[in-house]
Amino acid sequence: MTLRPTHYKDRHITFATMHGKEHLARDAFRDVLGATVTAPEGLDTDQFGTFAGDIPRILTPRAAARVKARLGMQMASSTLGLASEGSFSATFGPVEHMEILLFIDDDLGLELIEGTRTTSPIPGGHTITAAPQARRYGEALGFPAQGVIVQSTKAALTTAHKNITDLDQLEQTVQAMLKNGSTVIVLPDYRAHHAPSRADTIRTLCAQMAQRLATECPTCQTPGFGQVDVEHGLPCSQCGSPTRVIAADIHACGKCDHRSRVSRDNTRADPTWCDYCNP
């Protein structure tokens, strides 16, 4: 594999965002590729769904990222596009954060994905019955650096109150909703410009994507050679049976059929993960 940062040198890449994500990609794409990243003016990505639920999210993450990237490229008359899509969920225990970053190069016919699944440091939403609870919840979240959304429901009508900027405004908004008989939930605002931990995740994915785009396929020299899958089955250190632990990463080209297997550093798995030693 050869690093070749010149393929995208002086190229313009459009990041489909209305929440400042282009700033999260600029440094890596400039330093690694010599490319510039901007966002089109007037792009409304909320039309594809919101975290607050006021606009339902009906597409899969990849489909949502693709349609956003395509719209941004169309608005900017660009053949190179970026878009990200995140989701947060918690059935029991910590909140799980899944994030993908999608890159499209219509000149080369490429669509590449970088993704991650992590535990979010941001706790989930909290039902509020008294305004001071909202203040305490906001303080625990790190508000206002970490944003919040007040979700009020009355007579089956749910409204999301966004862009709250200080604790007094938060408490006053909640108090007003409680007075009119609404059920009130205060939620973290997961939009990238109001969620520092999510912004950090997107920035990391942008750095990974830039490095990937600087990596050529050893067979056809197309940029973007990188990880597309994993191989499970690392042998148990006690009995030697395959386990569910990842044994290798699978790298592939987005253009031709070339693939390679890259072994992980560990050569044996702890018996804890073995279905025979620890059924």
| Average pLDDT over every residue of 180-184 | 92
- pLDDT exceeds 80 at position 92: no
Whether the full predicted model's pTM is greater than 0.85, yes or no, is yes
- pLDDT exceeds 90 at position 178: yes
Residues 6+ apart with CB under 8 A from 70: 16, 81, 104
Distances (CA, A) of 19 to 62, 77, 80, 183, 205: 19, 20, 19, 28, 16
| Average pLDDT over every residue of 199-228 | 96
Q: Round to whole Å and give the CA distance between 185 and 52.
A: 11
The token duo for 36 is: 């510039």
166-175 pLDDT, tens digit per residue, is 999 999 999 9
For 225-247, give one letter per residue: b (16+ CB within 10 A) or e: bbeeeeeeebbbbeeeeebebeb
Per DSSP, the three-state class of 170 is helix
- pLDDT exceeds 60 at position 222: yes
Domains contained in the chain, CATH given: 12-121+193-219 (3.90.950), 126-188 (3.30.1490.20), 225-279 (no CATH)
Tell me how far apart the terminal alpha carbons of the chain are, to the nearest angstrom: 41
| Average pLDDT over every residue of 228-235 | 96
Among 118, 115, 120, residue whose Cα is nearest residue 208: 115
Average pLDDT along the chain: 94
Counting other chains too, the contacts that 57-61 makes at CB distance below 8 Å and 24 or more residues apart are 61/85, 61/86, 61/87, 61/98, 61/100
Counting other chains too, the contacts that 137-144 makes at CB distance below 8 Å and 24 or more residues apart are 137/186, 138/167, 138/170, 138/186, 139/167, 141/188, 142/196, 143/167, 143/170
Q: Round to whole Å and give the CA distance between 204 and 113.
A: 13
Q: Which residue has the higher pLDDT, 70 or 46?
A: 70
The token duo for 135 is: 């203040």
- pLDDT exceeds 70 at position 2: no
55-85 pLDDT, tens digit per residue, is 889 999 999 999 999 999 999 999 999 999 9
Q: What pLDDT score does 32 carry?
A: 95
Distances (CA, A) of 221 to 1, 214, 225: 9, 11, 9
Contact 206, 101 (CB under 8 A): yes
245-277 pLDDT, tens digit per residue, is 999 999 999 999 999 999 998 899 999 999 999
- pLDDT exceeds 90 at position 156: no
- pLDDT bin (cut points 50, 70, 90) of residue 176 is very high
Distances (CA, A) of 13 to 19, 204, 253: 16, 17, 21
Instruction: Residue count of the chain, please give it.
Output: 279
| Average pLDDT over every residue of 222-236 | 96
Among 156, 139, 157, residue whose Cα is nearest residue 148: 139
- pLDDT exceeds 50 at position 1: no
Q: What pLDDT score does 4 carry?
A: 54
- pLDDT bin (cut points 50, 70, 90) of residue 5 is low
Residues 6+ apart with CB under 8 A from 64: 48, 49, 57, 85
E-state strands within 44-92 = 80-89
